[in-house]
Amino acid sequence: MQNTMKSLAQLTSLLARIALWIAGIGLILMTVFIAAQVFWRYILNSSLIWSEPASVMIMGWFIFLGAAVGIREGYHLSFDIVLYLLPERGKKVLHSISDAVVAAFGLGMIYYGGELAKKTMHNAIPSLGISGAWDFIPIIAGGVLVVIFCVERILRRAAGLSTARFGETELED
């Protein structure tokens, strides 16, 4: 069980790495776009009208991907002070309940994000001209990762492996 989990973890670790890279590239792109807007506005004295909506969309990518990776790496803020009073076993049960409801929320991100994308698919986004569905692709992609990483946490715990938590453990793969 532990060994299967460990090879599975290599896969999810790769997935998290890719998501983090996409998010990082997104942050750089945002920086470039807004810097270009500043350059156009102040040096060339005209306006770049796509830079703002494009950056806002990229921000969606890096927030939802980054937030999903945060579940795996445990860097979300939480109040776990009450849990310190509980025995190890009880703690594990509660953590797994928590991961399960977060996974349910991730399913919601996928399903309802998809519904929103379908609804707006045929509307163009102002100033960008691309399909309105792009506004919701990040939340869907983030949802997929949220579900995967939550399930991984539950399985790891069942297999007796560690899961990362904010200010507590770093994850060893």
Partner 1 sequence: AEKMLRSSDTHPDGYPTVEAVKYMGKLLDERTKGRLGIEVFHSAQLGEEKDTIEQTQFGVIDLNRVSLGPFNNIVPETQIPSLPYIFRSVEHMHHVMDGPIGDEILAAFSDHDLIGLAFYDGGSRSFYNSQHPIKSMDDLKGMKFRVMQSDMFVDMVSALGANATPMPYGEVYSSIQTGVIDGAENNWPSYDSSGHYEVAKYYTLDQHLIVPEVLVMSKKTWDGLSEEDQKIVRQAAKDSVPYMRDLWEKQEKASEAKIEAAGVKVITDIDKQPFIDAMKPVYDKYVTSDKLKDMVKRIQETK
Partner 2 sequence: MELWILFGSFVFLLLIGTPVAFCLGVSSFATILYLGLPPVVVFQRLNSGVSVFALMAIPFFIFAGDLMVRGDIARRLVALAGSLVGHLRGGLGQVNILASVLFGGVSGSAAADASAVGGLMVPQMKARGYDVDYAVNITVVGSIIALMIPPSHNMIIYSISAGGKISIADLFTAGIIPGFILAVSLMVAAWFVARRRGYPTEAFPGWGAMGGLFLNAVPGLILIAIIFGGVRSGIFTASESSNIAVVYALLVTALVYRTMGWEDFKEATFAAVRTTAMVLMVIGCAASFGWLLAFLRVPVMMVSLLQGVSDNPLVILLLLNVVLLILGTFMDMSPLIVITTPIFLPVATAFGVDPVHFGVILILNLGIGLCTPPVGAVLFVGCAVGRIPIWQAMRTIWPFYGAAVMALMLVTYIPALSLWLPSLFH
Q: In the complex, which residues of this chain contact partner 2 (CB under 8 A)?
A: 20, 23-24, 27-28, 30-31, 34-35, 37-38, 41-42, 52, 55-57, 59-60, 62-67, 69-71, 73, 75-83, 94-95, 97-98, 101-102, 104-105, 108-109, 112-113, 115-116, 135-136, 139, 165-167
* 168 Cβ neighbours under 8 A, 6+ residues apart: 74, 80
Residue whose entry in the numeric block shows the structure tokens 């969606």: 60
Here the tokens at position 158 are: 């069942």
Determine contact, residues 38/44, Cβ cutoff 8 Å: no
Residue 131 in 3-state DSSP?
strand
Smallest gap from residue 133 Cβ to partner 2 (A):
12
* Interface with partner 1 (CB under 8 A), residue from 47, 78, 162, 169: 47
Rounded to whole angstroms, the Cα distance separating 13 from 5 reads: 12
Nearest to 120 by CA among 128, 110, 130: 130
Site for partner 1 contains 45 (CB under 8 A): yes
Question: Which of partner 1, partner 2, none interacts with 65 (beta carbon under 5 to 8 A by kind)?
Answer: partner 2
Q: Is residue 26 a contact partner of residue 38, using CB atoms and an 8 Å limit?
A: no
Partner from partner 1, partner 2, none binding residue 6, C-beta < 5-8 Å depending on class:
none
Pick from partner 1, partner 2, none: which does 125 bind, CB < 5 to 8 A by kind? partner 1
Residue 16, contacted partner among partner 2, partner 1, none, CB below 5-8 A by kind: none
* Amino acid letter, residue 98: S
Kindly state the smallest distance separating residue 2's Cβ from partner 2, in Å.
24
